[in-house]
Amino acid sequence: MQIEFFGATREVTGSCYLLTVGDFRILVECGLIQGSREHERHNNDPFPFDPKNIDAVVLTHAHLDHSGRLPLLIKRGYKGKIYTHRATSDLCSIMLEDSGYLHEKEVQWENKRRERKGRELLEPLYTRKEARKAHNHFHSLEYDKRTQLLPGVHLTLRDAGHILGSAIAELELEEAGKHRKVVFSGDLGHRGAPILRDPYVVQQADLVVLESTYGDRCHRSWDKTWQEMGEIISSARSNKGNILIPAFTVGRTQEIIYMFKRYYRDWGIGDWEVFLDSPMGIEATEVYARHAKVYDSRAREIYETDGDPFDLPNLHMTQRTEESARINKIKSGAIIIAGSGMCTGGRIKRHLEHNVGRPDAHVMIVGFQARGTLGRALVDGAKTIHLWGDEHQVKAQIYTVGGLSAHADQHGLLEWYSHFKGRPPVVLVHGEPEAMDILAEKLEQDYQADVTTAEFKQVIQL
């Protein structure tokens, strides 16, 4: 028995881990590498294993840095099932097809340039059709149900509280009479977050593969976070400007709308026109509305008494491109929620083009921004940004609402690990080097844990 690490090693994106148990090979995650253009080129590299030889795939949640290369895996020969939570399956049907569309458009644009220069044309990483084909491989599971994937391989999904359907994967393995339990945290949620339950507490494991996104810091309290958000909205109302919210289409978008409804009067949300300008965000919100059984107790109570928790009287769902373009004629009084969350693509870039140079505009950063992304440049105080080759001065006010995270912070990660009996060894993944190293030091000091920070292609024997 062994585990090999092929992604999210000393970085946040591209999660991909391979378990070998006897003659069986189980892939956990198959995510896109995200960040700079140079970084993303590696998505087209050959897999460091033969997809035809994989016997099962386990997916913890729908975010593309965990799921985004699944259509490519199937395109290159994988024939088996993808085991995941039912809500994750529903979200992936939207997200992977949208990802295929973006790959098609990107290559279409690049090939026009290549054609003019007489260069060889490219193929997209995968197409919408290939993404739809991939969804036929999904096999939906519920939380807390032990399922045999293969002889000697059992899977139990636990609620990770990160996004809808996100899971901690408990894999029980048996080979030649030896038993091992490996627990993959997936992405752990931030305790006390709106809508979803707190991460499930696991107590037994022989090895823990733990994310470390925020291993070097602690979030602000939820009360201070909501207070800050209310103050930003109040300030923007005084300045008569628009508010741009680059938001991940799954998870963050729904949290923002949910809290707008909850604080509708306190934050004066009724004074604004609120736009959800994201076709995929609209579809994902509809999926969230269908899966109320996995909400936390407060959100379920709202659902049962008030109906749809994402229904605002002044919320406009803008599907079509021409509807999105009309928003940019509004100079004041609009709250615009759009993807992508790191400003690397999507409609938020057009809204930045029309607003980032205006001193009365506000940009509210509400999620993690990876190095090399446009969102990270804004957070780091860039004076100018480039959009489609044109330089734009940044005059808008940029706010980072740090407490609003779907990821556990350092305290949350340590607290989750503290419940394991016997302090099993830990392998840290899904974190930038500094965050990973600081969390490793804390785990060693506070819990005397044996900690490894995973390296690319590293093999650990079980």
pLDDT tens, residue by residue, 129-148: 999 999 999 999 999 999 99
Residue 237 has pLDDT above 90, yes or no: no
Per-residue pLDDT band at 39 (split at 50, 70, 90): confident
Tell me how far apart the alpha carbons of residues 28 and 25 are, in angstroms, rounded to a whole number.
10
* Average pLDDT of the residues in 273-292: 96
Please report, for residues 28, 32, 80, 447, the alpha-carbon distance to residue 40 in angstroms, rounded to integers and kept in the order given: 20, 8, 26, 37
> What rounded mean pLDDT belongs to the chain?
95
Yes or no: is domain 222-400 CATH 3.40.50.10890?
yes
What pLDDT does residue 151 have? 97
The CATH fold assigned to 2-217+406-461 is: Metallo-beta-lactamase; Chain A (3.60.15)
pLDDT per residue as tens digits for the range 380-409: 999 999 999 899 999 999 999 978 888 999
What pLDDT does residue 36 have? 76
What pLDDT does residue 345 have? 86
Residue 125 has pLDDT above 80, yes or no: yes
Per-residue pLDDT band at 99 (split at 50, 70, 90): very high
Residue 372 has pLDDT above 90, yes or no: no
Residue 46 has pLDDT above 90, yes or no: yes
Q: Where are the domains of the chain?
A: 2-217+406-461, 222-400
What pLDDT does residue 162 have? 96
Per-residue pLDDT band at 364 (split at 50, 70, 90): very high
What pLDDT does residue 239 have? 79
* Average pLDDT of the residues in 167-193: 97
For helices 86-117 and 279-290, the axis angle rounded to 10 degrees is 170
What pLDDT does residue 37 have? 79
Percent of the chain residues past pLDDT 90, beyond the cut: 89
Residue 238 has pLDDT above 90, yes or no: no
Read off the pTM. Answer: 0.90
Spatial strand order in the sheet of 397-400: 315-317, 273-276, 334-338, 243-246, 362-365, 397-400
Residue 169 has pLDDT above 80, yes or no: yes
